[in-house]
Amino acid sequence: MSTLRGAPVEGAVLVVTGANRGIGLAFVQEALAKGAAKVYAGVRDTSDVTDELRATGAEIVQLEVTSADDVAAAAAHCSDATVLVNNAGLHAQDRLVKATDPDAARREMEVNYFAPLAAIRAFAPVIAGNGGGSIVNVLSVAAIAPTAFMGGYSPAKAATLYLGGIARAELEPDGITVTSLIVGSVDTRMAAHVDGDKEDPRDIAKAGLKAMSRGEWTTDTDRMAVESRARLAMDPVRYERGLGKLLFATELRTKA
């Protein structure tokens, strides 16, 4: 593993995509609480911003992550950025082969893979020009094993896990670290259909910023992520079969 350290949160200038709520909002709140110099909060529509985000004092930026124009404009505007947090995501809640909407997987790949790739391409020169820093990709336990009940979301997040590794190798000479976060079930709008225990988004942001500052490559941010990786390591076939059975579950529930 590289000995290159990640950006310290204190004094950093962050760009956070999908910042209006959930994990993105939590990154904004946590970074400012830990002394970040500035946070640019990327949102799809600047006319529809949550009160919680406005209350943080972050600078709100128009950033629809699948828009090449928005990404280019944001990179030009956020010229002092030292950290990029690729958080914006889409889970279409459809199957992959037996999909009700055949285009759902393409949209999931656009948001969850091609958008982070485009953002990294746009912001890496900015971060390098400011002396180096870090990129954080918010992923999922669905990235580490085929997760049948998450349709096109799982392969898109898996692709972005590989993206992180390749970007890390390319950008290390520029003084930029890349950290991939493997995240379990979190109390967000995306996981509203899941019952049971769910993580507080602020705890995910805390773990993610700590991992970034240490220059960690890949980090399991919570109990579900850690336990999922352990079960996968002990018996990959059984773990994957279990995920497959959830296709036919009448409800989704996390384990206590």
Question: For every one of its 256 residues, what pLDDT tens digit does the chain have, with 9 covering 90 and above?
Answer: 557 899 999 999 999 999 999 999 999 999 999 999 999 999 999 999 999 999 999 999 999 999 999 999 999 999 999 999 999 999 999 999 999 999 999 999 999 999 999 999 999 999 999 999 999 999 999 999 999 999 999 999 999 999 999 999 999 999 999 999 999 987 665 544 554 575 889 999 999 999 999 999 999 999 999 999 999 999 999 999 999 998 887 655 556 4
**Spatial strand order in the sheet of 59-62:** 59-62, 38-43, 13-16, 83-86, 133-138, 176-182, 218-220
**How far is the C-alpha of 53 from the C-alpha of 86, rounded, in Å?**
17
Asked if residue 7 is part of any domain, the answer here is no
32 located within any domain: yes
Q: Which domain holds residue 87?
A: 13-186+196-253
Any domain includes 84 = yes
The CATH code of the domain that includes 151 is: 3.40.50.720
- Domain assignment present for 1: no
Is residue 4, in this structure, part of any structural domain at all?
no
The model carries a pTM of 0.92
Q: Is residue 5 part of a domain?
A: no
Is there a domain that residue 239 lies in?
yes
Q: Is 3 among the domain residues?
A: no
Instruction: Indicate the number of domains in the chain.
Output: 1
